[in-house]
Structure 1
Amino acid sequence: MRYPRLRYHDKYGRLTACDALVMSFYMRHPNERIAPAVVRALELFRERIRPYELAWNDTGEGQAEPLDDSAWERIRKRMLKPGPDELASQMLWDDPRRFAGLHVDYRGLDVVPLPWPYRQDDVSVLYLRLPTEYLEERGSEHVHALALDLAKELPFNSGYVDFVLCASLGDSDEALELIRPRYPGVHLAWNGANMHMNTWVDGVHWMNFLGQPVLGKLGGLTGLREHLTLPGISLQEMSDDRVLITLGERPEVGDIEAGQSLPMHRALARLLEPHLYHWKPIFGGPASKGLLQWERRFLD
């Protein structure tokens, strides 16, 4: 299956939004508690995506360096036991100059929460972005198996896997026009980790990972089975009281011109409505009318 190529360039000609395959996991735990699990997930990810390769890493000082074996060992040590002045964060790329490429963004919470009001909803996040070609070349079964294996390593509260439009925050309204008229199945995602998730659920997707507390509020696996009865919706129980909800065999863009109505997405959105994350600027203020309407596209 071929997916649409979505590109937005700003007024300076810079690419600031593009289509991609994203896997994102949200964990309301400090880095010191989950770092070994995140390191295992990253090592698994690096191995399984070959010949795609993460070739550069952020040094933590605003610079990129080649990701060789010695650099990876430094990353592992820094993630497992950050120094007193080090953040438990890490970015990796295939090419740091290329907006549309392979990208990993891990943000780990400190044990002591940051005191500022706009950081009160922070969580640890592992954000993994692959080019759309990866999904097309490997197929949805491979992507599903890879994402499930990654999720098994992580103590997530929620997470998702989907075909998305990644956008820089400042250009999200303009980029939205690439998908709003035609592709309601395409999630509008940040171009990196969104830490401000608390225990909300980041939209409705092809693969939806649910843990506590939302899963408990929905009645657990039994409650999901009672409400999600449409053919094509798959419920898979995972360890530690977690569930994977998969909508269909592959990510669907919901092409309006082809008459695709995405009934499975609408059913899950109705169930999750009280728990869905609402896009908002980092430093407060309201989201635009267009973004608020887009969030409700499966509900209105």
Structure 2
Amino acid sequence: MREIIPVIRVRNDYGDVDVRDGVILCFFMRRSHEELAPAMWRALHAYRRAITPRALNWYGADDGDTLPLDDQGWEHIREKMLERPWAGAARHVSLCEESGEAGGYHFNYDGLQFAHPLNSHKKDATSAVSFSFPTEYLLEHGPAHLRALALELARELPFSFGYASLAFVSHPGIWYGVRRQLLGLLERYLGLDLYLLSETSDVIGTGARGAYWLTFLGQPLLGQLGGLEVLRDKLSFPEVSMEPMEGERLLLTLGEWPDAMDTEKGAPPAQYRALARLLEPYFCEEGSVLPPMTPGYMHRWLRRLCL
């Protein structure tokens, strides 16, 4: 399968890899950190058990520095997630494989305190989490293994929307430095996600972001789409499978393997287009003040499969 999944290494002006190919798994939850903390801690440990031993080597300290993730570091993360009293509007946790270059393994969590005055006007904000993997993990273990792990993590989390996809993997925000170099890749590989966890979580509410290899639908979105039976009728493709989950939630799988959707090799699969069109009325609006990823560009890019 490596021949149909591109090898991506985007380097900055100093020669460091800022972006690489991989797989991203994201969940968005309209819940405060206090409600999410125990489940998030269990999900983090499930992720840690599944990946290469000690693949998470660094963490983002409160002062912005990056420190080795040793036993003392893990205790700091545990206290931050489970015990430390609230001192602000959000709780941020970032763990990674490499401190400088973009490694394949990342855990990023933004947990909000919705009662905080700074969040009172954010009617569409959510708490959010992402787990990333290098493409080599997918190739070594296979898509069934990664799908089972995604389900295990999803069962822990009260998501309204989530997804797993091939992606441009990077440290949070680092890809902005090479964003112009990404433009051609974004236009060629429609199946590689450009994930913006903190930006998306500010605006997604209980909506959607796109159609993905694994698309997790929670409430109220699943109900707004008509529920399981309506989706069975509208997504009656042999490649599509549907797995109901506890709490009136659903996992849609759009194929055995994730698809890079290389435009030089053909059009995107029909099932992706069909799901994107169903979800389009619920898409969020994103965008940066930094060109070229302006709101207009992101509006079009998020709808790239709806045509």
Determine if the TM-score, normalized by the shorter chain, exceeds 0.5: yes
Q: Mind listing any 5+ residue stretches in structure 1 that lack a counterpart?
A: none
Q: Mind listing any 5+ residue stretches in structure 2 that lack a counterpart?
A: none
**How far is the alpha carbon of 1:290 from its aligned partner?**
4.1
SS in 2 for 1:236: strand
Report the equivalent of 2:77. Answer: 75
Report the equivalent of 2:285. Answer: 278
**How far is the alpha carbon of 1:74 from its aligned partner?**
2.9
Report the equivalent of 1:150. Answer: 153
Q: Answer whether contact 1:209 1:244 (CA < 8 A) is retained.
A: yes
Question: What amino acid maps onto 1:241 in structure 2?
Answer: E
Question: What amino acid maps onto 1:102 in structure 2?
Answer: Y
TM-score (norm 1): 0.89
Q: Which of 159, 164, 178 is the matching residue for 2:162? A: 159
Q: Answer whether contact 1:107 1:124 (CA < 8 A) is retained.
A: yes
Report the equivalent of 1:207. Answer: 214
Change (3 A) 1:161 1:250: same
Q: Answer whether contact 2:287 2:296 (CA < 8 A) is retained.
A: no
Q: Which of 46, 59, 62 is the matching residue for 1:60? A: 62
The 5-angstrom pairing of residues 1-300 of structure 1 reads 1-2=1-2, 3-11=5-13, 13-51=15-53, 53-85=55-87, 87-115=90-118, 119-166=122-169, 168-169=175-176, 171-180=178-187, 182-190=188-196, 194-196=200-202, 197-281=204-288, 287=294, 289-300=296-307
| Percent of residue pairs identical | 37
**How far is the alpha carbon of 1:57 from its aligned partner?**
1.7
**How far is the alpha carbon of 1:26 from its aligned partner?**
0.5
* Bigger helix share: 2
SS in 1 for 2:273: helix
RMSD: 2.5
| Aligned residue-pair number | 298
Moved more, 242-251 or 42-51: 42-51
Question: What amino acid maps onto 2:244 in structure 1?
Answer: E
SS in 2 for 1:17: strand
Moved more, 108-117 or 273-282: 108-117
Q: Work out the CA distance in 2 between the residues paired with 1:119 and 1:138.
A: 40
